[in-house]
Amino acid sequence: MRRALFRRPSPALVIACLALGVVLGGTSYATVTQVPRGSVGTPQLKNRAVTTPKLANNSVTSAKIRNGTLVQADFARGQLRAGPAGPAGPAGPAGPPGLSGLERNETTGPSNSTTAKTTFLACPEGKRLVGGGARLSNSTLPVGIIASFPDNDNIWRATAREMAATAASWSLTVYTVCANAS
């Protein structure tokens, strides 16, 4: 088996390596320790070099912000007080006429045990239908509303039917919501 021969470095190589280490290390050490406080400022920093993650918490205070440099977008909603109200602007054009004379009417059909019932109600003369509906008088019975709708521009119609035969009396009420409309 052969032994690997390692030669000792020459004294010149050892001195050259030590000199290189001293030169590089000394320069780095001098750079870090010899930079005076406050000597690095805006001219020495690259654009966008200082980012939010690099800032310590609460390091930027109001004393460090130049007056007049913040805009409304820099504040959370509700942090800025509203200024005084400005003068009223010119009036816009009149809107279309709305509803007036709103009234609710209702009618109830006969109370008996008929299997199916239909009831309707028209708005008073001069008024238009704007809504309506129906309800049953005895909700514990097996009776259900199968239709409730505007029959035309002025009449609401509803139909109810027994889902299972019953001898008990029940009634169907229809109501309308009517108004003057232009």
How far is 133 from 173, CA to CA, in rounded Å?
Answer: 9
Decide if pLDDT at 1 tops 60: no
Mean of pLDDT values over 123-136: 93
Average the pLDDT over 116-137 and give the result.
Answer: 93
Across the range 6-32, mean pLDDT stands at 78
**Mean pLDDT in the chain?**
85
DSSP readout, 111-148? -B--SEEEEEEEPPTT-EEEEEEEEES-TTSSEEEEEE
The confidence score (pLDDT) of residue 91 equals 93
Please indicate, yes or no, if residue 20 is contained in any of the structural domains. no
- Catalogue the E-assigned strands of the chain: 100-108, 116-122, 128-136, 143-150, 155-162, 172-180
DSSP 8-state assignment for residue 170: B
Give, as one character, the DSSP assignment of residue 42: G
Would 68 be classed as within a structural domain? Answer: no
pLDDT in tens, 143-174: 999 999 998 889 999 999 999 988 899 999 99
Summarised one tens digit per residue, pLDDT across range 60-82 is: 887 888 888 888 888 888 888 88
Is residue 155 included in any domain, yes or no?
yes
Residue 75 lies in a domain: no
Min mean pLDDT across 1-5, 61-65, 133-137 is at 1-5
Domain membership of residue 6 (yes or no) is no
Q: What is the pLDDT of residue 34?
A: 66
Phi (first) and psi of residue 156, to 5 degrees: -110, 135
User: Which CATH number do you get for residue 148?
Assistant: 2.60.40
What is the tens place of the pLDDT at every residue in 18-27? 888 877 776 6
Tell me the two tokens of residue 145: 């509303």
Domain-embedded: residue 153: yes
pLDDT confidence of residue 108: 94
Work out the percent of the chain whose per-residue pLDDT is above 70.
Answer: 91
Q: How many domains does the chain have?
A: 1
Side-chain-side CA neighbours of residue 164 (13 Å)? 3
Where in the sequence is the domain holding 118, given as residue range(s)?
Answer: 100-180
In percent, how much of the chain has pLDDT > 90?
Answer: 38
